[in-house]
Amino acid sequence: MMVKVSRNIQMVDLVGQYEKIKTEIDSAIQEIILSARFINGPAVKEFQSDLEKYLGVKHVIPCANGTDALQIAMMALGLQRGDEIITSNFTFAATIETIAFLGLVPVIVDVDTDTFNIDVKEIEKAITSKTKAIVPVHLFGQCADIEPILALAKKNNLFVIEDTAQAIGADYIFSDGKKKKAGTIGNIGTTSFFPSKNLGAYGDAGALFTNDDELAKKCRMIVNHGQSTQYFYEMLGVNSRLDSIQAAILKVKLKYLDGYALSRNKAATFYDKAFAGNKNIKTPSRSKNSSHVFHQYTLVLNGVDRNKLKEHLASKEIPAMIYYPVPLHSQKAYRNAVNEGKKYPVTDKLCASVISLPMHTELDEETLKYITDSVLEFTK
């Protein structure tokens, strides 16, 4: 029997999550207000240092959002107008937007059918004498295959910028069994603390990660108008600071990040089991090189009318989202991208057939059963 759950089902339940840590969060916010240290207060340094420890990385540079983080990384690496930057066709627009915004040339490549992450063979084919960097995106919570990407980068003298907006806390597993956190492996990593991300602030926020002292120094200058010390401008910068209230919230939530990943994995396993053996539904595959933190739980449908399924779910008050409906190579804004005449069969197929189900830290079994029963009722 299908039981209608009392609370509205959401893609991400941030209020439910807040209720469990309300006392801690409220007092952290209060403390900032009473200190009146809203910008660059001690809370920013504290969060920075906690995150450095958690990630096992030398430098975390907080900034205003994940899009800025990408832009700051490319500025700090000294990338120049006309340089070619290789990235994935199947990602959130910010990844390619920042490349195009800086006058760099986005070179879009296809992705792997199973992991949805950038296809290393396609990167290799796209490298030219103008290529300067690769931007792998760790999509939906799982690491791109970074070890062979690093090898390609080394051979061709390229920078690697990891877009970790969707995979903070995920472990990449190297062929020798060693593990490193997503975003700490290439020259520089970027992340977003947008509220719905796995480590979400209550507003906009982001950060860069690097083990390179020089690069960290440059990033710290760029986020603060290119200043080395106050009123001495060494390089062109921007204003991209993390405010103290967000830092205080993130400091509290960082303690729960691994627990949150566990809850997300439990929900994913429930979904997997419910859909196992259904020939119309392909559940997300797990890469052998990465843990999964399930930013999204994304199905690939086969022979199912996606819009009708979405409507069916909506009629039962179950939200579902399409990440992403349109490939980047066919977006009007990115016409300067190098993709002319190129074919993207995997991205095209995914954009036409993926659907993401509610995925967050507060899903109980009753809700999960209601969701999976409702999907199965339509796809049988």
Ligand X SMILES: *Cc1c(COP(=O)(O)O)cnc(C)c1O
Residues that bind ligand X (CB under 6 A): 65-67, 91-92, 94-95, 137, 163, 165-166, 192, 194, 204, 206
Question: Please, which residue, 146 or 304, has the CB nearer to ligand X?
Answer: 146
CB of 4 to ligand X, least distance (A): 32
Residue nearer to ligand X on the CB measure, 16 or 203? 203
Toward ligand X, which CB reaches closer, 193 or 275?
A: 193
Taking the C-alpha atoms of residue 37 and residue 16, their distance in angstroms, rounded to an integer, is 29
Q: How far is the CB of 99 from ligand X (least distance, A)?
A: 12
Q: Which two tokens stand for residue 63?
A: 């900034």
Nearest residue relative to ligand X (C-beta): 66
Of 96 and 318, the one with the shorter C-beta distance to ligand X is 96
| List of residues 6+ apart from 46 with CB closer than 8 A | 247, 251
Choice between 137 and 346, CB closer to ligand X: 137
CB closer to ligand X out of 105 and 165: 165
* Close Cβ partners of 338 (under 8 Å, ≥ 6 residues apart): 84, 105, 106, 107, 108, 126
Query: Which DSSP string do the residues of 257-310 spell out, in sequence order?
Result: HHHHHHHHHHHHHHHHHHHTT-TTEEPPPPPTTB-B--S-EEEEESSS-HHHHH
Q: Are 290 and 142 in contact (CB under 8 A)?
A: yes
Residue 187 or 191 with smaller CB distance to ligand X: 191
CB nearer to ligand X: pick between 166 and 367: 166
Q: How far is the CB of 94 from ligand X (least distance, A)?
A: 4
| Residues 160, 149 contacting (CB under 8 angstroms) | yes
Could you tell me how many residues make up the chain?
380
Give the nearest distance from C-beta 203 to ligand X in angstroms: 10
Contacts of 230 (CB under 8 A, 6+ apart): none
Least spacing, CB of residue 271 vs ligand X, in Å: 21
Which phi and psi (to 5°) does residue 307 adopt?
-65, -40
d(CA 79, CA 90): 23
| Minimum distance from residue 66 beta carbon to ligand X (Å) | 3
Smallest distance, Å, CB 216 to ligand X? 20
Q: Which residues pair with 107 in a beta bridge?
A: 86, 338
181 DSSP 8-state letter: E
- Closest by CA position to 165, among listed 134, 193, 142, 185: 193
Please state, in angstroms and rounded to a whole number, the distance separating the CA atoms of residues 117 and 142.
8
> How far apart are CB 12 and ligand X at their closest, in Å?
13
